[in-house]
């Protein structure tokens, strides 16, 4: 009985760690900022401006979150 409870507890801990790791993973955001140019995509000025504004908004959002967290805990 104790072994089963320990297994369940260990499983919950590993699931929680995986969840936190996935929550803080910046794979898609990092891929958005650091990807190679795709030659098959059209390079229109409107699309470039849109992506530039998106990058700026992501940076401002992350800076705001960092500011709020630091203000809350420091």
The model's pTM = 0.52
**Distance from the first to the final alpha carbon of the chain:** 44
The answer to whether 29 and 58 have CB atoms below 8 angstroms apart is yes
Q: What is the pLDDT of residue 15?
A: 61
Torsion of CA 39, 42, 47, 48, to 10 degrees: 40
pLDDT over 80 at 25, yes or no: no
Give the pLDDT band of residue 37 (cuts 50, 70, 90): confident
Gap between the Cα atoms of 43 and 37, Å rounded? 10
Which of the pair, 23 or 73, is modelled with greater confidence?
A: 73
């Amino acid at each position: 009985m104790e072994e089963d409870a320990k297994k369940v507890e260990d499983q919950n801990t590993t699931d929680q760690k995986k969840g936190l790791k996935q929550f803080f993973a910046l794979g898609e955001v990092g891929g958005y900022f650091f990807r190679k140019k795709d030659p098959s995509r059209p390079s229109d000025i409107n699309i470039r401006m849109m992506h530039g504004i998106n990058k700026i908004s992501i940076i401002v959002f992350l800076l705001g979150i960092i500011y709020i967290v630091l203000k809350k805990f420091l």
